[in-house]
Amino acid sequence: MPDSMKNRAVGIRMRKGGDPIMKLKEHIRIYKRGIRYLFSLSRSYMLQLIFINILRNLQPYVPIYFSALLVDGLYEGRPVWKLAAYASCAVGMVFLLELVKARLNSGYSATHIQMYRNQKWSYSQKAMEMSYASVEDPEVATLRVRIDKESQTGYNIWNLTYNTEELISSLTRILLSMSLTLSFFFLESVPLLMKLAFAGGVLLVVLCRSVTAKKEAVLESHFYDSSAFLNLLYDKYNSYVDHYSSGKDIRIYDMADGLVQMNKQIDDEYNAKSIALAGKIAVLQAADVFLNHVLRLGVYFALVYAALLGGITVGSVARYVSCVMLLLGAACRLTTTVQSLLINNHYLKRYFSYFDIPNPMYQGSLTVEKRDDNEYYVEFRDVSFRYPNTEAYALRHVNLKFRVGEKLAVVGRNGSGKTTFIKLMCRLYDPTEGEILLNGVNIKKYDYDEYMSIFSVVFQDFRIFALRLGENVAAGPDYDRERAVRCLKEAGFGERLASMPEGLDSFLKKDFDGSGIEVSGGEGQKIALARALYKDAPFLILDEPTAALDPISEYEIYSRFNEIAGDKTAIYISHRLASCRFCDKIAVFEGGGIVQTGSHASLLADEAGVYHTLWMAQAQYYTDAEAPG
């Protein structure tokens, strides 16, 4: 049953922002998980965050306390030395707190940056650790986009850290304020009814603030949810306009006015939503402000009344007034923070749901056997496969066995299952039915990382990174320069490399370096091939490796194919059947299955076969001569 139907079946109530209402127990669980996560990112940052906020909020109470003693001392005519001691304590303790705070602040910024770098890394690391099926899953991709957008608007981790600071600050102020005002409730000169009215007023202000804070949080959450698409549009707009590669299209097709108009429409719609939100929040806050000031006025009246009766000293009046004002502010701040945390927990839940995506790929434990005789065999035994969340099979009953060290060509029309065949061999996916064997052992039983390490693959959708050329070839910052140069030359990039002033240190693309080099599609394929050669894995798999090459470069790759592959197992996927002549065996795919296997000569001799049909369809463009015009 789909999740949406399950939700309706159990009658889950939904909050206004669209997420299911969470119980208090779940809120606590998610918040605790969030705090543990922050500590795992940077323990030193979290400890400094706690201590700095305690000290920061302790500081205002030191002068309040000693100033009250000083005023009472002056009023009562106490000795000068005692008055001087009060003043010295007030200044000295504030000075010491400032020193400690400055010492903590010196490392706070660095650990703050470290924490967010670690957070970015853990988020990226999850993407690298999850199964490839999850990486390709559209729902996971949508989840990542949504989390990214929510992070940009201040939810998730930033909101958690900010509100944790606010929580520590509010609790610190409430505890200190209560400790300095507790004696007010034991004053005999203040009537019990006045004390109860004061306590009730504080509770009323806090309750009012709690209600309005909840409404504000829901309004803001609804605003961000409803603006998600606008944020996505704005982000795409900026990415397109800011990237140098867009300049050609913008100028050729006179797109500037249209893009500016589109941006204005996005801004106008977003600003209209923002103004409407601000108006609603202003109305909600008006009641808070009114009640807050009424209570403050009541506190003044109560304290003046008690002072006139002689029940409290002048210094105590000043202390009570200051602490009560701080108490009210901290209590309102606490309720706002709690409401913000409750709303943010919905976003944290979604954030952690990404980390909770399981990796169903069995990791295995066997070591890939090293054999001196190089007699390895790969076998597809009745393998069928369909992609997740689909009903149609991409491969059906595939049976194929070949010896490691052979050159295997995989050919067929678009959509016949060639690339899927390679993904299964590399264990990016596991078969839906059947099994794949290496030397008679199911490849699931091999250690996953070790098994993956035996493949060097150049896929059709390879990626060239905005890094230095050498780093692109080695797929990392540290590499053997001589080996990188040799691989580039073997891949046919030697002449282009010689023309680069900075050689392997040349930046590709202009993302990080304005003088970066833009390579053509064919040059990109050569770099990707060099990357595969640099890895020097036993299996070399080339998926349409010459699709973007000119005829001369393509011929060079073909003619040197055996030399490039060496003693490796080479699997060659191509639409261009001329490449197949260099391979020991050819597997012809049609409709998700293997319909023919054999050598180029034997398959071409079968005039009723698919291979012969494909060969003749391509050959006519090279053999038919046009009549003179």
End-to-end CA distance of the chain: 66
Q: Which residues contact 131 (CB under 8 A, 6 or more apart)?
A: 359, 360, 361
Q: Are 338 and 385 in contact (CB under 8 A)?
A: no
Mean pLDDT of 140-161: 85
**What is the tens place of the pLDDT at every residue in 562-601?**
677 777 788 888 777 777 777 888 999 998 999 999 988 8
d(CA 410, CA 583): 10
Of 485, 508, 535, the one marking the end of a domain is 535
Q: Average pLDDT in the 110-133 region?
A: 88
Structural domain contains residue 424: yes
In a domain, 5, yes or no: no
For residue 471, tell me if it sits in a domain: yes
Residue 145 near residue 23 (C-beta atoms within 8 A): no
Helix, coil or strand: residue 429: coil
Q: Which residues lie closer than 8 Å to 489 by C-beta, 6 or more apart?
A: 497
Instruction: In whole angstroms, give the CA distance from residue 354 to residue 362.
Output: 20
* Chain centroid to CA 235: 16
**285-321: b or e for each residue (b if 16 or more CB lie within 10 Å)?**
eeebeebbeebbeebeebbeebbeeeebbebbbbbbb
Residue 619 tokens, joined? 């050959």
Give the Cβ contact number of residue 21 at 10 Å.
Answer: 10
Does residue 367 fall inside a structural domain? no
What pLDDT score was predicted for residue 6?
A: 31
Half-sphere exposure of 123 (CA within 13 A, CB side): 17
Please state, in angstroms and rounded to a whole number, the distance separating the CA atoms of residues 549 and 527. Answer: 12
H-helix or E-strand containing 400?
strand 395-403
Co-location of 433 and 333 in the same domain? no
SS3 454: coil
Residues 308, 253 within the same domain: yes
- Measured CA angle at 30 (ends 26, 31), to 5 deg: 115
Res 310 pLDDT > 80? no
Nearest to 328 by CA among 199, 217, 162: 199
Please report how the helices 192-226 and 314-355 are oriented relative to each other, as an axis angle in degrees rounded to 10: 30
pLDDT of residue 170: 92
My answer on whether 525 and 550 are in the same domain is no
- The token pair at 571 is 């699997």
Residues contacting 173, CB < 8 A, separation 6+: 57, 326, 327, 329, 330, 333
Q: Is the model's pLDDT at 309 over the cut of 70?
A: yes
When pLDDT is averaged across residues 127-132 and rounded to a whole number, the result is 87
Mean pLDDT of 456-471: 87
How many percent of the chain have pLDDT more than 70?
A: 90
3-class state of residue 75 by DSSP: helix
Both 186 and 231 in a single domain?
yes
Q: Percent of the chain beyond pLDDT 90?
A: 19
Q: Is residue 3 part of a domain?
A: no
My answer on whether 212 and 320 are in the same domain is yes
Provide the residue range defining the domain that includes 409: 373-454+537-624
Instruction: Say if residue 475 is in the same domain as residue 564.
Output: no
Element holding 595 (H helix, E strand): strand 593-598
Band of residue 371 on the pLDDT scale cut at 50, 70, 90: low
Which residues make Cβ contacts (< 8 Å) with residue 40, sequence separation at least 6? none
**What is the dihedral sign for C-alpha 444, 446, 450, 451?**
negative
Q: Which amino acid is at 294?
A: V
The answer, yes or no, to whether residue 1 has pLDDT greater than 60, is no
Residue at 4 is within a domain: no
Q: Which two tokens stand for residue 282?
A: 């202003």
Q: Which residues of 344-360 are buried (b: 16+ CB within 10 A; e: fewer)?
A: bbbbbbbbeebeebeee
> Token pair of 81, please?
């030395």
User: Residue 15 above 50 pLDDT?
Assistant: no
Stretch 227-256: mean pLDDT: 76
Q: pTM for this structure?
A: 0.74
Give the span between the Cα atoms of 579 and 408, in whole angstroms.
11
Q: Is the pLDDT assigned to residue 18 strictly greater than 60? A: no
CA angle 588, 589, 593 (to 5 degrees): 130
Counting the structural domains of the chain, the total is 3
Helix axes 61-76, 80-129, angle to 10 degrees: 170
Decide if 581 contacts 600 (C-beta within 8 A): yes
Contact 436, 471 (CB under 8 A): no
* Nearest by Cα to 475 from 503, 492, 456: 456
Q: Which residues pair with 401 in a beta bridge?
A: 379
CA dihedral 302, 326, 90, 180 (to 10 degrees): 60
Specify the pLDDT at position 481: 92
pLDDT in tens, 479-532: 899 999 999 998 888 888 998 888 999 999 887 777 788 888 888 888 988 998
Last residue of a domain, one of 507, 535, 563: 535
Residue 133's closest CA among 350, 426, 418, 379?
426
Q: Is the domain of 480 the same as that of 339?
A: no
Residues 176 and 32 in one domain: yes
In Å, how far are 581, 603, 615, 617 from 600, measured between CA atoms?
Answer: 6, 5, 10, 16
Domain shared by 543 and 526, yes or no: no
Q: Is 467 helix (H, G, I), strand (E, B) or coil?
A: coil
DSSP state of 588: E
Instruction: Choose the final residue of a domain: 473, 506, 535.
Output: 535
Q: Does 324 reside within a domain? A: yes
486 and 547 inside one domain: no
Q: Say whether pLDDT at 209 is over 80.
A: no
What is the pLDDT of the chain when averaged over all its residues? 82
Would 360 be classed as within a structural domain?
Answer: no
State the helix-helix crossing angle for 80-129 and 157-181, rounded to 10 degrees.
160
Same domain, 85 and 136: yes
Q: H or E element: which one contains 346? A: helix 314-355
Are both 273 and 387 inside the same structural domain? no
CATH of the domain at 514: 3.40.50.300
Phi-psi region of 439 (alpha: psi -120 to 50; beta: other; left: phi over 0): left
Token couple for 123 = 């988020």
Q: How far apart are CA 542 and CA 548, in angstroms?
A: 13
Separation between Cα atoms, residue 540 and residue 573, nearest integer Å = 11
User: For the purposes of burial, counting CB atoms within 10 Å of the CB of 583, is it exposed (0-12), middle (13-18) or buried (19 or more)?
Assistant: buried
Domain holding 213: CATH number? 1.20.1560.10
